[in-house]
Structure 1
Amino acid sequence: MSAEAFSIGGVAAPRWLSGAFRFADGAMRPAGFILICLAALEILARTLAVPEVLFPAPSRVLTALVSNAPTICYHAALTVSQVVAALVISFAVGVAVATIFTLSRVINDMFAPLFIVLQIIPKIALAPLFVIWFGPGGLSHLSFAVCLSFFPILAGARAGFEETSADAVRLCSALRASRLQTLIHVKLPMALPQLFVGAKVSTTLCIIGVVLGEFVSARAGIGWYIVQAAALSQTANILAALVVLSLFGLLVYGVVAAGEIVVRRRMFG
């Protein structure tokens, strides 16, 4: 039954309930596709008798996930906490740098090309440098993730600032508002949709950055757990850890996407 047709005693369902039905209806297709793929992989693994170290059956991955759930969730929680911290810092740094670039054309012309060059350099090559600079602990993983993920927010903020209505800017000028006041009260609110687009991209990059940092040097975290499992050829444990990490990542991404929806509704109705 569709959300539009759902009613209780002839009364239309509340908006939140209709939204829940629309969400459930939209989630059925990808969930069904995933179940079909898992069933096909299970059949292939059992039919072809592929060695478990190369390709464990989904049922074996589920068994590993259940038996090692406390350990995997502990390491995944450590990783995701750093992901959230990196995302918050990336958001603050990206907006701050975009603000400086917008307020000063000279600084923009001097430093904007440097940030573009920084994005061209393969980030994996920088990971050992962060270990040298910040040590083998969580600080190096956090800083590496920020370096990897702040640029989409910077690009989104700059695009949002530049797309602000010219009429709104002229009105602020007529009211004798300063450039900083115009930026804070007009350009920044109008740039929020673009900022959330950049934040969604940065979410995935934060996860990649933290896990890569844990691959290079760590004593805990999901990346460390995967490295340890790989050393013991425990492929099922590796895949189970990736499943948990993906679920945590989807949760963080969902929070950012929900924030974008709320902002868009408040700004544009």
Structure 2
Amino acid sequence: MATTTLTAAAFGGDPGRWPLPAAHTPEQLWLRAVAAGGQGRYSSARVDLAAMRRLQPSGARASLALSTAASFLRQLGGHRLARGWDGRALALAPAPGEAMVDALVGLAADALGIGRLAAAARLLGLAADVLGDTDAPAPRLAIRQAWVSAELAMAGGQGESALNHARRGVELAEAALPELRRHRVKSDVVLAAALCSAGSPGRSREVADAALADTQTYGLVPLRWALACLLFDIGSATLTSPQVSAIRDECAAAITRRGGQWCRG
């Protein structure tokens, strides 16, 4: 029962569920940490990941725990710090498999975040190769790869390419519904940014405004903060600038209360 509930919160249609049931196995602890992190409850997530690593210090689960910890650092700007966690995740990941793809995509995102675009592209290529060799890969892996590919294209000033990758992420996440609800919302976050990058601010506002409402529905505070930052820059079609600013600041405060530690680089 606990595993079913935690799966629905981490990778299903109930990402806003809180409180979450207690976790005891490495799988349950990982699911609980992923769900908590999606809500910005970083202290809770870190405790569960640490317990998970104690129970399973090597292998795929340990690798996933490290990759997940790295993703929390990236969400708050700590790309350089995240590299160490993702590197350790890659060292522990069996090949090929889910854990290795997660580690490689994470390393690509880390490289992108510190301006190493060529390295990010190489790592994404390696992730694609491993994904192709993985039996029955989880849909979320291809979605994550699409997100980082879109972000890389945006960083390189390739607006149309960014849109193609972002739309691919949306299509994959849409096909997975009612599962991966959080991934569906984040895919719209990436799409809104890509539309802005491609010179379509009006459409970007529409997508971002709709996604902002979804983040409220599903309790996805980190994504809500990211959307409010974007809308503060480009303007919202439905909210005033002070309203957007208030949402951004409220989310940042909630993340801090829940154990988020903001980083630079």
The structure showing larger relative contact order (alpha-carbon pairs under 8 Å, at least 6 residues apart) is: 1
**Same fold at TM > 0.5:** no
Greater Rg over alpha carbons, structure: 1
User: Which one has the bigger helix percentage?
Assistant: 1
TM-score (normalizing by structure 1):
0.23
